[in-house]
Amino acid sequence: MKSILLKATLVLFCASYASFALSLNFDAPYLGNVIAHKLDEKTLQTTALAQVLVKVSGNSSIVSVLQAKELLKHPESMLSQSGYQTYNNTEYYFALFDKLKINNFLVNIKQPVWGGIRPKTLVWLAVQSDNGKEIMSDSSVLAGSDFQLIEQPRARGIKLDFPIMDIEDNSITISDLIGKFYNNIAKASARYDVEYFVVAKMQQLSDTSWRLNWSLLYYNLLSKKNNEIISKTLIGSRADVETKMVNQIADFYVSRYAVTRSLGDNITQDIYVNGIQNYKEFSLFINFLTKLHSVSLFRLKKINMDQIDVAVKINGGLESFKNALNLNKHLLMIAPPKVDTPIEDEKPIVDVVSQANGGSVVSDAGKAVSDSAAVESEAASAASNTGLVVSDAVAAAGDTDKKAVKAEVTVNEKVIVADPLYFNWH
């Protein structure tokens, strides 16, 4: 099994850079999309960069920060590719910005960096208006006038889904939402593969005034219970209360998952994963780690049939790293064994360094990868003039046009070793 799993660290996943950029993706943190409106390209670039700064930092007011104001005068300095595309009969200008440059800029001005691993959220919204009562479905949101439930999540870099309200979803009634029968709602939400769900009731008070009661919940796989994270009551115009709800959800996710990093970060933690049985599962796990901005480097220390041991160097706090791990539906955190697994002082199988932090991935598995191997991780910037970008997966392959660069080792710096974490893969 070890030889099979090791192959996952030696595979280069390449995707067409042009194909990625030329498709509108409103959820992509580093991609800005602006309705063209016959605006000049400099204005479109500036607006798109402002969008990306908000989505990646999680700070909705970042454009008022002095350094951000200066950067917005020169958006082309961060630009990787741009163009125009029509979507729903509307012409959009899109701009893809360099991940590494954006991340470094935010770190330098002491702003959070919120990577690509973000929670998925399902919204159960009951609306009581002068026209009657309904549970909002995905089609009714798209067809209606609730633009804030579409545009505001895009602006904040989060994805809100709504139930399709088919026969299966119709088992949930407005009474379930009003009565907060969370167990029933959690069961109905399971098919959507989301980490969080919202239960909300919006009631029309007058022609211009609405009351929105909403709660954000997280289903804990370990305790098998629904945890109510936020519960709010908002009053105002329909657009206002919807916008505030989206912002409050986004702000919570930022506080939980964004990473505020300093140059002095030097925290390491071992994680032990039981139950990975094949190459596909191993690849999913490795790919997930490479996408976490809270991870700057990880080392595969041991692989056997029973357990994988990975040493991780962490950006920012331990909590944001732990929270990000809990977003993976396959990882179930368990209690440490009575006798801790010994951490052997052995040569790692492979070092993986996040290029979001200026590093590269270097395999050291018995010279399996030559000195000319080129390796890039999730934060790899677009490869210039090649039209290719390396995918988020851990990558290593012979490419004589690029040079593998080993991670710099900081000396004379105190290393904080956190208690190990243990997981079952399911």
Task: Let me know if residue 181 belongs to a domain.
Answer: yes
Residues 40 and 125 placed together within one structural domain of the fold: no
Count CB atoms within 10 A of the CB of residue 48: 24
Task: Let me know if residue 22 belongs to a domain.
Answer: no
Domain end position, chosen among 51, 79, 108: 108
**Contact between 85 and 24 (Cβ < 8 Å):** yes
Task: Let me know if residue 21 belongs to a domain.
Answer: no
Residue 241: predicted pLDDT? 98
Q: How many domains does the chain have?
A: 3
Residues 275 and 248 placed together within one structural domain of the fold: no
Question: What is the full per-residue pLDDT of the chain (426 aa) written as tens digits?
Answer: 544 444 444 333 333 333 344 456 888 999 999 999 889 999 999 999 999 999 999 999 999 999 999 999 999 999 999 999 998 888 999 999 999 999 999 999 999 999 888 999 999 999 999 989 999 999 999 887 788 999 999 999 999 999 999 999 999 999 999 999 999 999 999 999 999 999 999 999 999 999 999 999 998 877 778 999 999 999 999 999 999 999 999 999 999 999 987 655 678 999 999 999 999 999 999 999 998 888 888 999 988 878 999 999 998 778 888 999 989 989 999 999 886 555 555 455 555 555 444 444 433 333 322 332 233 333 333 333 323 223 333 333 333 333 322 333 333 456 788 899 999 998
Residue 414: predicted pLDDT? 66
Residues 273 and 408 placed together within one structural domain of the fold: yes
HEC per residue, 375-398: CCCCCCCCCCCCCEEECCCCCCEE
Residue 13: predicted pLDDT? 35
Task: Let me know if residue 63 belongs to a domain.
Answer: yes
Residues 103 and 151 placed together within one structural domain of the fold: no
Residues 219 and 267 placed together within one structural domain of the fold: no
Task: Let me know if residue 50 belongs to a domain.
Answer: yes
Residues 266 and 389 placed together within one structural domain of the fold: yes
**Contact between 48 and 34 (Cβ < 8 Å):** yes
Domain end position, chosen among 257, 285, 311: 257
Residues 335 and 295 placed together within one structural domain of the fold: yes
Residues 231 and 366 placed together within one structural domain of the fold: no
Residues 70 and 209 placed together within one structural domain of the fold: no
Q: Note the pTM of the prediction, 2 decimals.
A: 0.78
Residue 334: its H or E element: strand 331-334
Residues 285 and 298 placed together within one structural domain of the fold: yes
Angle, alpha carbons 21-75-375 (nearest 5°): 50
Task: Let me know if residue 358 belongs to a domain.
Answer: yes
Residues 253 and 288 placed together within one structural domain of the fold: no
Residue 342: predicted pLDDT? 54
Q: Which two tokens stand for residue 157?
A: 């870099």
User: What is the C-alpha separation between 253 and 251, in angstroms, rounded?
Assistant: 5
Residue 262: predicted pLDDT? 63
Task: Let me know if residue 360 belongs to a domain.
Answer: yes
Task: Let me know if residue 41 belongs to a domain.
Answer: yes
Residues 198 and 91 placed together within one structural domain of the fold: no
User: What is the C-alpha separation between 341 and 145, in angstroms, rounded?
Assistant: 56
Domain end position, chosen among 88, 108, 128: 108
Domain of 169: which CATH number?
Answer: 3.40.50
Whole domain around residue 6: which residue ranges?
2-16+261-425
